[in-house]
């Protein structure tokens, strides 16, 4: 607005109307507007309506003073209502904040309790796993020790069994060698005895054969001498008979002559 120009009474009225309507308008999240804000908005809309310059010239100074007083009163009332509304909004914001803080605290407490329970369960599970690990380690250690002892026992058993088998084989070989030596000595002794016996038997048989031969020769000699004597006797008898026959023949021949 330039200097020396007549002031437009619509500008302060429009600004006041905007302030009143803004304060009386419902804000998001605050519910219904307050009674003071609604009345201030209605009064401002009714009394501070824009007017033309011709209509403003018809008002006198008394009217303007009364209007100024009314505007001052409404301004104080509006300020009081605004302060009350602001206090109420602050109270509700603080309540919502406290409720939000309480909700967050409750949620945090529940979450903390859940985490503590989960931590307790985890600690119990960890303790159980440690116990299982300890028992498993003990069992594995016992199994390893038993396996080692069993392995050492098996090794000792196998070594003793091999040594016993080796000693058995050595004893069997020694027994076989002794038996072979004994049989060889027996066979040698038997062969020597048989050789000696055969030699003695040969000599004895030879002696017996010589004696038998001598006896047979003597018997044959005796039989031949006896047979010769008999034959000589028989020959003598035959010769005598022949001589007698010859004499008889001669006598017969002489008789026949």
Surface-to-core class of residue 180, CB atoms within 10 Å of its CB (0-12 exposed, 13-18 middle, 19+ buried): exposed
Per the CB < 8 A criterion, the answer to whether 26 and 71 are in contact is: no
The whole-number pLDDT of residue 58 equals 54
Per the CB < 8 A criterion, the answer to whether 24 and 33 are in contact is: yes
- Residues lower than pLDDT 70 in the chain: 1-60, 257
The whole-number pLDDT of residue 235 equals 82
The residue extents of the domains of the chain are: 10-102
For residue 67, what are the contacts with CB-CB under 8 A and spacing of at least 6? 47, 59
The whole-number pLDDT of residue 257 equals 66
Phi, psi at residue 50, to the nearest 5°? -65, 145
Q: Measured between alpha carbons, how far is residue 65 from residues 62, 77, 79, 142, 223 in Å?
A: 5, 18, 20, 110, 219
Q: Measured between alpha carbons, how far is residue 71 from residues 61, 94, 213 in Å?
A: 15, 33, 197
Q: What is the pLDDT of residues 218-233, one digit of tens each?
A: 888 888 888 888 888 8
The whole-number pLDDT of residue 1 equals 41
The whole-number pLDDT of residue 202 equals 84
Q: Rg of the Cα trace of the chain?
A: 86
Q: What is the pLDDT of residues 123-151, one digit of tens each?
A: 899 898 889 888 888 888 887 777 777 77
The whole-number pLDDT of residue 59 equals 54
């Amino acid at each position: 607005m330039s200097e020396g120009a007549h002031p437009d009474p619509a500008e302060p009225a429009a600004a006041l109307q905007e302030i009143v309507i803004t304060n009386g308008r419902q804000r998001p999240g605050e519910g219904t507007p307050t009674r003071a804000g609604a009345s201030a908005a209605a009064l401002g809309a009714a009394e501070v309506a824009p007017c033309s310059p011709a209509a403003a010239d018809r008002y006198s100074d008394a009217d303007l003073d009364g209007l100024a007083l009314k505007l001052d009163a409404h301004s104080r009332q509006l300020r009081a209502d605004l302060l009350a509304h602001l206090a109420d909004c602050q109270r509700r914001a603080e309540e919502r904040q406290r409720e939000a803080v309480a909700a967050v605290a409750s949620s945090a407490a529940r979450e903390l309790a859940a985490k503590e329970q989960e931590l307790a369960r985890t600690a119990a599970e960890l303790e159980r796993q440690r116990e299982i690990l300890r028992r498993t380690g003990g069992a594995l250690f016992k199994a390893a020790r038993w396996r080692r002892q069993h392995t050492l026992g098996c090794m000792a058993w196998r070594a003793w069994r091999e040594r016993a088998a080796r000693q058995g084989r050595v004893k069997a070989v020694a027994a076989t060698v002794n038996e072979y030596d004994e049989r060889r000595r027996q066979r040698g002794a038997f062969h020597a005895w048989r050789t000696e016996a055969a030699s003695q038997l040969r000599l004895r048989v030879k002696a017996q054969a010589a004696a038998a031969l001598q006896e047979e020769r003597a018997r044959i000699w005796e039989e031949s001498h006896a047979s010769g004597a008999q034959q000589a006797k028989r020959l003598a008898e035959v010769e005598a008979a022949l001589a007698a026959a010859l004499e008889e023949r001669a006598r017969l021949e002489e008789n026949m002559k």
